[in-house]
């Protein structure tokens, strides 16, 4: 999915919601556990009920890898189901890969050729040669970690050099030369608030993938106040607050209600753009 197609989906659906498929077999409704592939069945029902309210899905690979071969099969089945049944949805593999050049090349081929997702989260710590291999695939996106929402984000990301430049700002300035707004996004946590204003000074037109709304307490309104652009420029992710909103047989219907509520808030924010 290219940038124009993604933007069209956002304004057509009046939504920039990304739903995280962080599917933990210990948390899914008990009545699914007797099925052959409970993880896939859970994902399928969530997708079927929420697809009209979101533009993207983001399976976190750790929740599948922990289940060994069966988990990988569940992940592939989920991605294939999205591609065949909901082809207008943007698919992000949240794997946070990044290694020396030849290893990154293998990761890139694995996710972009074999798995055929639209985007992959990538860690920038090892520098250009660990990231550039992911930019070689036409129509695919690198989503680079920039300023995250976790408690330990300040351990390194806010470190200032002698010129007053913080590390996340260095990451943004340097990495923006490795790709462009058509193939590179950045992860910025919703809990970072006014930091979005500083980020937009460096990457005014890049899309930002924003986790942390919902269970982590980030404010959608604050994210939009400082981070939204005339093309939206945001994919706001919600995982637990949607997919684990209910544990009964009605879990997918309740997830749809939660997704709808967020979509309605997003529609209000998009209406302020006067486009």
Judge whether 77 counts as a catalytic residue.
Answer: no
Catalytic-role residue among 44, 77, 83, 96: 96
Instruction: Give the angle 158-161-164 at the CA atoms, nearest 5°.
Output: 80
Whether the CB-CB separation of 197 and 229 falls below 8 Å is answered with no
What letter would DSSP give residue 115? Answer: S
Helix 220-227 × helix 251-271 angle, to 10°: 30
Whether the CB-CB separation of 130 and 142 falls below 8 Å is answered with no
| Separation of first and last alpha carbons in the chain | 22
Burial-class residue 35 by CB neighbours within 10 Å (0-12, 13-18, 19+).
exposed
Classify 221 as helix, strand or coil. Answer: helix
C-alpha–C-alpha distance, residues 15 and 260, integer Å: 9
Give me the sign of the Cα torsion angle 150, 244, 43, 6. negative
| Beta bridge partner(s), residue 188 | 147
What distance separates the 2 farthest-apart alpha carbons in the chain? Answer: 59
Whether the CB-CB separation of 19 and 242 falls below 8 Å is answered with yes
C-alpha–C-alpha distance, residues 30 and 207, integer Å: 38
C-alpha–C-alpha distance, residues 23 and 35, integer Å: 15
Catalytic site positions: 96
């Amino acid at each position: 999915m290219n940038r124009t197609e993604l933007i069209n989906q956002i304004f057509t659906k009046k939504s920039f919601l990304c739903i995280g498929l962080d599917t933990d077999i210990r948390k899914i409704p008990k009545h699914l556990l007797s099925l052959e592939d409970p993880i896939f069945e859970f994902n399928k029902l969530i997708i079927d009920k929420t697809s009209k309210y979101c533009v993207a899905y983001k399976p976190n690979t750790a929740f599948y890898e922990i289940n060994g071969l069966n988990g990988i099969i569940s992940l592939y089945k989920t991605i294939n189901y999205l591609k065949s049944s909901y082809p207008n949805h943007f698919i992000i593999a949240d794997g946070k890969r990044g290694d020396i050049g030849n290893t990154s090349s293998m990761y890139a081929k694995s996710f972009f050729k074999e798995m055929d997702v639209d985007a992959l989260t990538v860690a920038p710590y090892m520098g250009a040669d660990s990231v550039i291999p992911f930019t070689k695939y036409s129509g695919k996106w690198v989503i680079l970690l920039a300023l995250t929402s976790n408690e330990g984000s300040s351990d390194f990301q806010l470190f200032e050099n002698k010129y007053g430049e913080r590390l996340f700002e260095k990451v943004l300035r340097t990495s923006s030369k490795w790709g462009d707004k058509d193939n590179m996004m950045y992860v910025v946590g919703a809990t970072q608030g006014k930091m979005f204003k500083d980020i937009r000074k460096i990457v005014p037109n890049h899309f930002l993938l924003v986790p942390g709304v919902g269970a982590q307490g980030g404010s959608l309104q604050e994210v939009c106040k400082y981070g939204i652009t005339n093309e939206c420029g945001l994919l706001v992710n919600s995982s637990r607050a949607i997919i684990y909103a209910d544990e009964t047989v009605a879990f997918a219907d309740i997830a749809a209600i939660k997704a709808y509520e967020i979509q309605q808030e997003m529609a209000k924010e998009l209406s302020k753009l006067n486009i």
